[in-house]
Amino acid sequence: MLVDMNHDEALRTHLQRLLDWQDAHVGFDAAIEGIPPALRGVKPAGLPHSLWQCLEHMRICQWDILDFCRNPDYQEMKPEEYWPKTIEPPTAEAWEQSVGDFRRDRRMLKQLAADPALDLFATIPHGNGQTYLRELLLVSDHNAYHVGALIAARRLLGIWASS
């Protein structure tokens, strides 16, 4: 525990770090850095998704959780809407747009976690008992899982330097 912080501040600081988590594993930014455009839509042998599909899935899920936390008119998505329909980015700009949107939404989640006016233990009014804390932990866990999938795919494609 941090000595000079109260429990609420310590929790908020930890949640913000968790969204960028790099203490225990590779973070999102390192996982996507330097992926050649020609390999973004390749599905590695033995894996179910391309790098593009994984990136888009992460972006969509993170945005959905952010929307759920903030939007009283939130509409739950259908399971098939969480994955892109294409194996490859539809345009050259789509990859950069997805990366930028992911980073923007991650910043917004970090702002949500830092907001002292938000009771992290409160249930989300339009939810079914979910708390803000649960959703922040959920998105961090989901992102960590798929960062691992990105690294596994990059290894199989021969574009990840093992350390």
Domain limits, the chain: 7-157
The SS3 assignment for 49 reads coil
- Would you say the pTM of this structure is higher than 0.85? yes
Q: pLDDT tens for residues 19-30? A: 887 666 789 999
Fold classification of 7-157 (topology level): Four Helix Bundle (Hemerythrin (Met), subunit A) (1.20.120)
Residue ranges of alpha helices (H) inside the chain are: 7-19, 28-32, 51-70, 92-114, 132-157
Q: Is 95 a residue whose pLDDT tops 80?
A: yes
State which H helix or E strand residue 119 sits in.
none
Q: Which residues pair with 99 in a beta bridge?
A: none
Q: How far separated are the first and last CA of the chain, in Å rounded?
A: 31
Q: pLDDT tens for residues 38-76? A: 999 999 999 999 999 999 999 999 999 999 999 999 999
How many C-beta neighbours within 10 Å does residue 154 have?
Answer: 20
Buried/exposed code over 47-78 (b: 16+ C-beta within 10 A; e: otherwise): eebbbbbbbbbbbbbbbbbbebbeeeeeeeee
